[in-house]
Structure 1
Amino acid sequence: MTTVLGVDEYRDLLSSALPPAQDADTVTPSLSTLFTPDSHRTALHVDTTVVRGGRGVGKTFWYRSLLDDKLRAVAAEEYRIDKLHHITVATGYGAQIQPTLYPGPGELRSLVEEAVRPYDLWNTVLLVALGQPKLMGLQSWRERVDWVRAHPSERDQTIAQADQQAQSQGTTQLILFDALEHLHWDRAQADRLVAGILQLALEMRLGTKNIRFKVFIRPDMFDGALLNFPDASKLTSNSASLQWSRANLYGLFFHYLGNHDSEEAVCFRAMTSGWIEHTEGRHQLPSALRGDEKVQADAFSLIAGPYMGANFRKGITYTWLPNHLMDGVEQVSPRSFLNALVKAVEETRDSYAGHDFPLHHEGIRRGVQSASQTRVAEVREDMPWVHTAIAPLQGQQVPIDSELVISLWGQADLTQRLQREAERVATATRNSGEIRTGPRYADDYRQLIEELILLGVMRRRKDRRIDLPDVYRIAFSIGRKGGVPMVQL
């Protein structure tokens, strides 16, 4: 086989190696897809309690990887975190319905309606994870919560014994929490449930040596939780964020190309020497291709050409792609990044098959448009109110004065729209069990702007005007002079 990939071979590799546009809940991590960006090392520390990250940045990926013995061992080795070799992992909450480990959607709503204190609920989940035998024979979570409340001394003894046992075995008991946006459709109730988890997490951190929580959570949910218990500020100092630098994003991209099971991937590794084969055929990136932007840019220019057109004035492909996928807090979702590249391959094959490079710059532009649509669809799925709030701004140009935003919202009677949306979501939740949270400030437009800024949907410029990053602006049909064209729907 040739040691240099031709254009068509490169396109075949891109098409087969890059993951399809799927939600994290439908994807199971594997050795070949496990990528360990340096910026995520702190998040994987056993003593890091809170791991913040928006949708598509890897919360569920790491949650599932930590539950898998092989993947956890690889992470421990590559991050040089010895403690990860010596932990016992249990699930405190997640997207998968596992009523033996934590309440399912229906029972959780019932417990909330019965005014069960979140702290008591999560105490019960903790004791189940620690194997309290008297809880195993109880059929419902209501019975289990009542037992825990009625036996506070046995609760404390269970925790102390589990802590001592872990100490004697040289291990740490780690309880994982994920998918907290699905706890409850009502934002106030969701905030209280999250606060209960965090209160207990802090109690375990301060009161035990070997029982730890790791809570994967959206930043807006962490910042909005009702942290009104003693020493709550310590959770902030003991948190990490799942962030992706430009080098991380391209490192992930090259990792997928080099770890695909194909002759093209073998050739790609030969073209970019320095790969190290690790566990069961998993190949580790050369350090330069992983973190040297000059090396990465040169490698990507072989795939997409150096420029987004005839010359550098049109943009450098290496920087242009992530720059136009960045949200309002200057973060790029790796899912959006990879989705844009998948679409770029499809568009190049369909419309520019004779192009000199595997990817055409117009294909990349279409990829960004497609990723924008996908990102907005994800936000609409999680938080329908965001689409409702942005809809009155369609047809406008950004940057835009905040007073004009408020005026447009007033003309559209946004508060009433959001209230109707909340009622519709509540009904849908009762019928389907799907959880969608609403805004905290439906009747306060200035606070609503701040909430959208926190989510990264909006950002405030230095001149105080409001901007929308391209990854949201394009699909919301909001213009910007000289920007990527809006999607024609």
Structure 2
Amino acid sequence: MSFRTRSTPSKSEDVIAIREAIARFDPSASTTIVGEDKAKPRDVFAPTAHSKALDPATTLVLGARGAGKSFWASALFNDDTRRLAAVLYPRLGLDRLRVQIGFGGVGRAGVSKAVIDRLVPLGQEKTAADRFWQAVIAGAALTVTEPGQKHAATDMLERFADPEDWADAMTEVDNDLTSRGETLLIVFDALDAISDDWGRLSGLIDALMRSVWDLRGFNAIRAKLFMRPDQLNELTLRFVELPKLRSGAAKLGWKQADLYGLMFARLAFDDEAEEAFGSFLESRGLGKPPEEQEELRTWTLANNESQQQRLFEAMAGSFMGKGPRKGKTFDWPYNHLADGLGDVTPRSFLILMQSAAERSGERDADGLVLLPQTIRDGLREASKVRIEQLNTEYPWIKRVLQPLAGLRVPAAPQVFFDAWKENATVEAAVKIARKENSLPPVQARSARNNVNSDREADLAERLIKMGVLTSRPDGRYDMPDLFRVGAALLKKGGVTPKA
């Protein structure tokens, strides 16, 4: 990027250019390890807290949907983004890393689901999956000592029918890497795409974790699994070392300063808005944007909340209303986008900002980049999108939320239970889960104990674990705005579901 200060900047033109750049954000797009949607250097932003997630020594990385799991998996695999990450995280040794894909959920990204289904038939997860994952790991490892050759899983299973042959080959790879001072990292992402059946998925991931755990015996061969926390919690995993794996896991969390840093970095490297953004900063005494992404580590607006607040208030004003009673514009998005577990994802944050920018462009913004009222509108869009995304994993979630529309929260648990009972919600949700072959909303009851009186309470507990509901100290249930607005529940003083 080449920043040029204009001699006669127009404030109104700068505002329009910045607003249009925010409106061009594409936060809802999913990253894939390879292909057109792979991670790109211009989108790399490296929060300090994510260092552990990228560390080759960290095996398990946990993150909610939209937190950046697939982005970092892709950034590690692709050479250009890995080189940039090596500069932004200089202590991790990413410049001495070789990366292969074990599973990525898309074509050309490791072994495919079709191959898994063929080589580990349904019902044979306990007997065939361990050898299968060892074959996948061997195929990735042999790219070091046998470059240019194909190492299909079928061939690896035949070649390493004797476990001693597998150990010998892996030792040879390990010695080769060690002599070069390099490390091989095998990445497994999009693990929910391995199977549509949760029972089968549990068996396959159990076996994968056992195979990955066994790599501890090597010096320079590592694996990294990217998973959602709910996936890890809800699968019936029996891997005995799971507590140790979980205790060493990294979580892809995003603080408020990280999210604003991400947003401002995207503006700094937007080809059409870089000059306007630079002029906007300088006119307010906030310095210049970085010219190269390597400078993000030391750029004040990447992590300094007080400076970030100065900038955002210049863009959107200080308050969400006429005074502080309605909240500060800087804090409001983060406070209203958290789920019940306290997590805010870049996807939700950028959707809010992108929607606010679009709506501000349609109104008389009075010199502001974003109008406070459009930030509220952006929350409505982020909430709608978040529920749609949640529905891809839990196809019964809309049916569960539908009877709650119009309720005012916080409310006593019985208010929720009555709404669900009146609409036979639990039974309907269980049928949807069975039809879609997804994890059910509540555990099945035995024929001897087929009592439905507390199934609504079970459903509420399930939603609390998912972060869709929260339980207050006084026992009442509440719903975070991230879901409440899209589900059309009401709250005194809160954002209404419809503008």
2:192 partner amino acid: E
**For 1:477, what is the secondary structure of its paired residue?**
coil
Q: Which residue of 2 aligns with 1:329?
A: 341
Distance in 2 (alpha carbons) for counterparts of 1:97 and 1:66: 18
Q: Does 1:91 align with 2:101?
A: yes
Q: Which residue of 2 aligns with 1:38?
A: 48
Give the 5 Å matches for 1:232-243.
Answer: 232-243=242-253
- 1:164-183 per-residue CA deviation (whole Å, 9 max, x = no partner) reads 22111211110111111222
Q: Which residue of 2 aligns with 1:430?
A: none
Q: Which residue of 2 aligns with 1:129?
A: 140
Distance in 2 (alpha carbons) for counterparts of 1:148 and 1:213: 22
State the TM-score, normalizing by the size of structure 2: 0.86
Change (3 A) 1:478 1:148: farther
Q: Does 1:103 align with 2:115?
A: no
Q: Does 1:261 align with 2:271?
A: yes
Distance in 2 (alpha carbons) for counterparts of 1:296 and 1:87: 34
Q: Which residue of 2 aligns with 1:277?
A: 291
Q: 1:441 aligns with which of 443, 451, 454?
A: 443
- 1:310-348 per-residue CA deviation (whole Å, 9 max, x = no partner) reads 111121100111111111111111111111111111111
Q: 2:30 aligns with which of 20, 24, 32?
A: 24
Q: Which residue of 1 aligns with 2:332?
A: 320
Distance in 1 (alpha carbons) for counterparts of 2:188 and 2:181: 23
Distance in 1 (alpha carbons) for counterparts of 2:430 and 2:156: 33
Given that residues 3 and 270 in structure 1 are in contact (C-alpha distance below 8 angstroms), is that contact kept between their aligned partners in structure 2? no
Given that residues 167 and 210 in structure 1 are in contact (C-alpha distance below 8 angstroms), is that contact kept between their aligned partners in structure 2? yes
Change (3 A) 1:269 1:301: closer
Q: Which residue of 1 aligns with 2:166?
A: 155
Q: 2:15 aligns with which of 10, 18, 27?
A: 10
Q: CA deviation at 1:152?
A: 1.7
* Superposition CA RMSD, Å: 2.6
Q: CA deviation at 1:289?
A: 1.4
Given that residues 120 and 145 in structure 1 are in contact (C-alpha distance below 8 angstroms), is that contact kept between their aligned partners in structure 2? no
Give the 5 Å matches for 1:467-482.
Answer: 467-482=478-493
Given that residues 199 and 232 in structure 1 are in contact (C-alpha distance below 8 angstroms), is that contact kept between their aligned partners in structure 2? no
**For 1:277, what is the secondary structure of its paired residue?**
coil
Distance in 2 (alpha carbons) for counterparts of 1:382 and 1:145: 33
Q: CA deviation at 1:283?
A: 5.4
2:318 partner amino acid: P
State the TM-score, normalizing by the size of structure 1: 0.88
Q: 1:292 aligns with which of 293, 300, 304?
A: 304
Distance in 2 (alpha carbons) for counterparts of 1:302 and 1:286: 22
Given that residues 244 and 333 in structure 1 are in contact (C-alpha distance below 8 angstroms), is that contact kept between their aligned partners in structure 2? yes
Q: Which residue of 1 aligns with 2:358?
A: 346
Q: Does 1:217 align with 2:227?
A: yes
- 1:139-191 per-residue CA deviation (whole Å, 9 max, x = no partner) reads 7x5x4575377322222222222222211121111011111122222222222
2:112 partner amino acid: P
- 1:398-450 per-residue CA deviation (whole Å, 9 max, x = no partner) reads 22333443443333333432332134324xxxxxxxxx655463665444433
Give the 5 Å matches for 1:60-99.
Answer: 60-98=70-108
Change (3 A) 1:463 1:149: farther
Distance in 2 (alpha carbons) for counterparts of 1:71 and 1:138: 25
Structure 2: 5+ residue stretches without partners: 1-5, 446-454
Distance in 2 (alpha carbons) for counterparts of 1:383 and 1:369: 21
The alignment-based identity, stated in percent, is: 29
Q: 1:414 aligns with which of 411, 418, 425?
A: 425
Q: Which residue of 1 aligns with 2:122?
A: 113
Give the 5 Å matches for 1:293-312.
Answer: 293-312=305-324
**For 2:369, what is the secondary structure of its paired residue?**
coil
Change (3 A) 1:286 1:129: closer
How many residue pairs get aligned? The number is: 470
Distance in 2 (alpha carbons) for counterparts of 1:453 and 1:302: 38
Q: CA deviation at 1:109?
A: 7.5
Distance in 1 (alpha carbons) for counterparts of 2:118 and 2:49: 37
Change (3 A) 1:268 1:403: same
Give the 5 Å matches for 1:339-488.
Answer: 339-350=351-362, 352-426=363-437, 438-439=440-441, 441=443, 444-487=455-498
Q: Which residue of 1 aligns with 2:449?
A: none
Q: CA deviation at 1:285?
A: 6.6
Given that residues 139 and 151 in structure 2 are in contact (C-alpha distance below 8 angstroms), is that contact kept between their aligned partners in structure 1? no
2:211 partner amino acid: L
Higher mean C-alpha displacement, 109-118 vs 365-374: 109-118
Q: CA deviation at 1:375?
A: 0.9
Distance in 1 (alpha carbons) for counterparts of 2:46 and 2:493: 36
Q: CA deviation at 1:224?
A: 3.0
